[in-house]
Amino acid sequence: MNDQPVRVAQLSCGPEHSGVQKEIYDAAEMVNAEMFFPDVTLKDITEAYQEFGLEAKSGDLKLAIARAKALVEGSVEADAVFIATCFRCSEAAIVRNELRRYIHNNSDLPVVSYSFTERTTSGTLLTRMEALTTIARRRALLAREVQEGITLGIDSGSSTTKAVVMKDNEIVGTGWTPTTEVLGSAKSVMESALEEAGIKLSEIDAVGTTGYGRYLIGNQLKADLIQEELTVNSKGAVYLADRQKGEATVIDIGGMDNKAISVQDGIPGTFTMGGICAGASGRFLEMTAKRLGIDITELGPLAMGGDSSVVPMNSYCIVFGTQSLVNALAEGHTKQDVAAAACRSVAEQVFEQQLQEVEIKEPVIMVGGTSLIQGLVNEMGKLLQTDIIVPHHSQYIGSVGSALLASGFIDNKDR
């Protein structure tokens, strides 16, 4: 790790009173980042929020506006920006959104925003903080567009573990299994991918890991790259979709959390990661498939034959979603309509909760296992009123991104 800490400017309202400031500091320390509060004067605050034109009543939000202006105008230097406000505060939600947009449009600084509760822990913040520092620290690596040599990428997700072997910019082997025991699942997918590729582990030039189990697997395999999934998935998405230049939006609806990333030339600008409840994730679709008595792979085609508008469904919480599901079936709705409604409900949740927090720029690329559920992609396309790209091997996005970026380390090793 580079000795020089990444300087992350904190624009916030409430964390010091909610008991989560220490968690923010802890998460930053884990990725060698240094949080700081941009210095502004009282006069700056008064002028800044009046010029900004948003009549926030809260003093801390006025201060955040002044600090954002100082960053954009260059009177304070930073490598990245972290915006944090209380979950449930409407005024903070408005200011948070506008500040993120303002910084994104007027500077090159990577920004991440987060709404916290008093239960927010450093572990929750780690992936976001890691992505911020990676973007600031590894721009050269993220600019890599071609995979070289033979590399292995492993993505240890909350639901599934995936592996990909790449050789000379081609995917030559894949492996996939539900995540049970992290190391065991990784070993299994690695063996499958190597077997399919007809390559021995000793022939691998570099290894990259991502996902929740990235540290455990990465340390075990002595991986060259251990990196969070936000930057890895963005890179993998634009690589597979052949959209490495220009703007793009990457949506990854995962088993446990969702990611929405606004990308410029393959490098994430703003991103959100979260999800209010499992009701807005792949987990709800898995549960729907189980309830309908079908395999998850059949859900997409089934949903395509249904009409989502005839079944009211609210998956804001997985319990409410299940209730809607059971009621809809009890009322005699067809399996097709219920499947379509479940897809629409998840798409709506992601649209309402997360896509409002990033600038949607076309093309929109959907990745991850859920992107194979045609009904979900269809419903998301309807909401965003655009044709969504689902690249080939989209379910292996993290592994592909890891394998691609890991090849950047080959030159530094004895081959």
Partner 1 sequence: MAKVFIYPSTSLILSDMVERFGHQPLGAAVAVREKIQTPGLDSPPMQMTPEDPKKGLKYAAVEVPAGVRGRMALFGPMIDEAEAAIIINDADLSFGCMGCSRTNELVKYLVRTREDIPVLDLNYPSDEEEGIQFVTNIKGFLDSLNMPEDESESMDNSGGEE
Shortest approach of partner 1 to residue 391 CB, angstroms? 39
Contact 258, 280 (CB under 8 A): yes
Residue window 81-120: x/- pattern of binding to partner 1, with contact defined by CB under 8 A: ----xxxxx-xx-----------------------xxxx-
45 binds partner 1 per the rule CB under 8 A: yes
Q: Of these, 10, 18, 127, 353, which contacts partner 1 (CB under 8 A)?
A: 18
Contact, 199 vs 167, CB < 8 A? yes
> Would you say 82 or 116 has its CB closer to partner 1?
116
Smaller CB separation from partner 1, 63 or 68: 63
- Whole-number Å distance between alpha carbons of 82 and 128: 9
**C-beta closer to partner 1: residue 17 or 290:** 17
59 binds partner 1 (CB under 8 A): yes
C-alpha 161/C-alpha 101 separation (Å) is: 34
The reply to whether 57 sits near partner 1 by the rule CB under 8 A is yes
Q: Considering the rule CB under 8 A, would residue 196 count as an interface residue with partner 1?
A: no
As a whole number of angstroms, the distance between CA 369 and CA 354 comes to 19
Alpha carbon distance 329, 316 (integer Å): 19
Measured between alpha carbons, how far apart are the two ends of the chain, in Å? 22
Beta bridge partners of 258: 253, 274
C-alpha distances in Å from residue 143, one per residue of 131, 171, 238? 15, 20, 11
Q: How far is the CB of 117 from partner 1 (least distance, A)?
A: 5
User: Is residue 15 part of the contact set for partner 1 (CB under 8 A)?
Assistant: yes
- Tell me how far, at minimum, the Cβ of 59 lies from partner 1, in Å: 4
Nearer to partner 1, 23 or 252 (CB): 23
Distance CA 168, CA 151 (A): 9
Q: How far is the CB of 65 from partner 1 (least distance, A)?
A: 12
* Count of Cβ atoms closer than 10 Å to residue 382 Cβ: 14
Whichever of 84 and 109 has its CB closer to partner 1, that residue is: 84
Determine if 200 is a binding residue for partner 1 (CB under 8 A): no
Two tokens at 412? 């530094």
With residue 172 as reference, give the H or E element that holds it: strand 170-178
Looking at 27, 40, 52, 62, which residue binds partner 1 (CB under 8 A)?
A: 62
Binding site for partner 1 (CB under 8 A): 13-23, 25, 42, 45-46, 56-63, 85-89, 91-92, 116-119
